[in-house]
Structure 1
């Protein structure tokens, strides 16, 4: 992270030059680099700075109050945002429609990911021409850049879903790429990840320093395992379960920690192995604002939680006690229709990291893929691994989940609590299985949970 902070000003300047914003690219010096100069006569230092900048670009909007984790959390009934200065946090996110004209709500999660996608494509073009970087290091940069680009496309399609999104955006200024189908976007993401994996397999060391959120994944060989984990997530989203199992076998998935009480801390630590967005507010870097006083945990997190002995007074799912705490007083909104006395605790400070993908998700993805293939026995093994180690709940028997449908219900519950408030997983998962209507309609019974974000009005108008 130190290197990321040191190069932040240069990266932001480069991002301004390479971004997709409206208007001209005829800007002044910006640390002495122009788009043409960067692509046609790239220097080693600029290329490496731009590579680091992709992590900063992908992190944009993740951990702010109107960002990816928070907004998708509200729509998925994981969280509330009670901001007296901005009623849209309730009225729009839980209301009848998302406004495509508002860049902080309905129009969100579009411009920033596409700016970073453009940056990745520009970096890839520069890598072909830069000197002072070995062929093996160039392969490392290519594999890394395509993986981050895939993650940015995933943000766009996770929010737009069947509205689709443009793919061929590496075009001259003024030309608009056609909007492609959801299936086409997912296929493109899968292709980027597979191409990235091939580059990483042929790579030497990364010639730039990554953030501390990639500790343990900061070599091409280890980063490849991260790439394969993301590829497994995408394959599950596509319903390509055999592909998901193949990718998981090449990832960092690990189910080797025993379940006894003495290894509780080790079990949780093993499940937390993964990659993270990092923040270092004290050094002038962006902070993690998910601990905002306006953000509350949804009461259903507690009321729906399982207990160890199945009784209302039993020890509650350990994931609840680790991630949520009760406040002394309740806060309400929408004329008392909404209230909560719960606060998330998993982001304890402005420096807290936000997961990109963790071992816990990989194990649950393997269970999901096996359920999709009707392999219920191995799915049960993985579900019980998560229940006993992350939730400290008793194992289930095969008789308790005798059907594919019953196994899926259990999977969705485990994903809800294991991946709580990490990146909209509950909303995305319920939508994929046509279960959004199981979410409460809290402001008005006619307000169904939002299925997708609209394509921004500025994008539509420009077409």
Structure 2
């Protein structure tokens, strides 16, 4: 599970062993000590029911901390100047996330955040994978499907960790018993390579995993094949392989493996069919008893007003269609000390408590393909994809000429900024990938000059444990 001092002094293991329809009402099994019989029985004498429930439980674990006001989407959105959190009860959203000289690794809700939850889910997946070696009543094909699914989810969790820690690195050899020597912190390059390996291993398992998963999925993981009968069914193993390849393509691009990215995109669910941009898989939320709500519609989260300026079209008035669709008038206004202008806009794509959050969707895949082709100097192919996004998503006119070099990169980053707005920290990650973080300072509120933090620190408790 986690690597910090909880491997020496662990009091709680989170293992999701309860699954209900739509994941609503699904809780965690809290284990107060290492001798808890429930965890021990799952490890030593697992049953089919426990294994299948634990598989579904990984979906609960991987969405933990995504939708919180101080979660993955919001905090990375603050760092990337997509939005701002103005909470009078907690000034750290400004004092640490923007004004501070550095993020505080000792603050588990801010600079030290976004570490424990993904490592907890990685431990859950490892526990499940270990249990598969001993369980009876699960066919070989079902075991393959579960392994492929679990490793794909682990890859997502590791990706969330390295997206926040960047060159600070992270441990990867974490399938160790409690009390064992702590896993070493590996470089960003090794972590990304490990993620790619997990995804490739998962694909090989999934290819032998039959047609249907033996456990229920959340409503965010539905079949990617358009149906004419209007029915909605769980995603098939075959289509989950396409999701696996989509995530791998994102990792390829982060590693600057451009040809490999194009190969993986071809095996993904990428399509240019009309109306397909939102095709993908999502974190699902609900208002059901015991389930988790999407809280990104909270009263303290505001859209950066510069979005309205930067999204203006050549006529100086019309806005990019994505901003018109995703940014709305807030129900209240927010104030920042020293800034006369009030914040009056919020994000409309999370207006409902049960709004889903994209994990990866087709619009990103098309832009990943455009980026790979730009970096391979296949500019005409890249512009075809960029113009598709400009017209179908942004409501913009096509660019008639073929952009090359820096002009093509600038256009790509613009399209990614608004296509993936406030979905998962893409703006901050992209500007960091291209060495442009300092450019984000121009997007600070008028009269303010904040710091641009390049990465989260490894939590202080993790380092003290070493």
Tell me if structure 2 keeps the 8 A contact 1:5–1:283.
no
Alignment CA distance shift 1:40-1:328 (3 Å): closer
Tell me if structure 1 keeps the 8 A contact 2:162–2:169.
yes
The CA deviation at 1:338 is 7.0
Please say if 1:229 is aligned against 2:246. Answer: yes
| Partner of residue 50, structure 1 | 54
Off by >6 Å, runs of 4+ in structure 1: 443-446
| Partner of residue 60, structure 1 | 64
Q: Output one character per residue of 1:321-346: Cα deviation in whole Å (capped at 9) or x when no partner.
A: 11001348742213327742111100
| Equivalent position to 2:215, from 203, 208, 218 | 208
Higher helix share: 1
Tell me if structure 2 keeps the 8 A contact 1:186–1:234.
yes
Alignment CA distance shift 1:2-1:24 (3 Å): closer
Please say if 1:130 is aligned against 2:130. Answer: no
Mapping of residues 15-414 of structure 1, within 5 Å = 16-17=30-31, 24-27=33-36, 33-34=38-39, 36-95=40-99, 96-174=101-179, 175-204=181-210, 205-216=212-223, 218-257=235-274, 267=275, 270-307=276-313, 310-313=314-317, 315-327=318-330, 330-336=333-339, 339-399=342-402, 401=403, 403-414=404-415
Tell me if structure 2 keeps the 8 A contact 1:2–1:211.
no
CA-based RMSD:
1.7
Q: Output one character per residue of 1:364-409: Cα deviation in whole Å (capped at 9) or x when no partner.
A: 000011011111000000000000000110000225x2x2211000
Tell me if structure 1 keeps the 8 A contact 2:68–2:296.
yes
* Paired residue secondary structure (2:61): helix
Alignment CA distance shift 1:230-1:202 (3 Å): same
Please say if 1:449 is aligned against 2:452. Answer: yes
Equivalents in 1 of 2:202, 2:170: separation in Å? Answer: 21
Alignment CA distance shift 1:195-1:305 (3 Å): same
The CA deviation at 1:416 is 0.3
The CA deviation at 1:440 is 1.7
Structure 1, unmatched stretches of 5+, are: 18-22, 258-266
Tell me if structure 2 keeps the 8 A contact 1:299–1:340.
yes
* Paired residue secondary structure (1:276): strand
Q: Output one character per residue of 1:150-182: Cα deviation in whole Å (capped at 9) or x when no partner.
A: 000000000000000000011111231000000
Equivalents in 2 of 1:6, 1:41: separation in Å? Answer: 27
* Paired residue secondary structure (1:83): coil
Equivalents in 2 of 1:256, 1:290: separation in Å? Answer: 30
The CA deviation at 1:284 is 2.8
Tell me if structure 1 keeps the 8 A contact 2:23–2:218.
no
Equivalents in 1 of 2:22, 2:333: separation in Å? Answer: 40
Tell me if structure 2 keeps the 8 A contact 1:90–1:334.
no
Q: Output one character per residue of 1:304-327: Cα deviation in whole Å (capped at 9) or x when no partner.
A: 0142xx1112x2111011100134
Tell me if structure 1 keeps the 8 A contact 2:112–2:458.
yes
Q: Output one character per residue of 1:102-123: Cα deviation in whole Å (capped at 9) or x when no partner.
A: 1110011111110100111110
- Could you tell me the TM-score, scaled by structure 2's length? 0.90
Equivalents in 2 of 1:56, 1:338: separation in Å? Answer: 40
Equivalents in 2 of 1:67, 1:354: separation in Å? Answer: 12
Equivalents in 2 of 1:330, 1:125: separation in Å? Answer: 51
Tell me if structure 2 keeps the 8 A contact 1:377–1:398.
no
Name the stretch that deviates more: 414-423 or 298-307: 298-307
Alignment CA distance shift 1:273-1:242 (3 Å): same
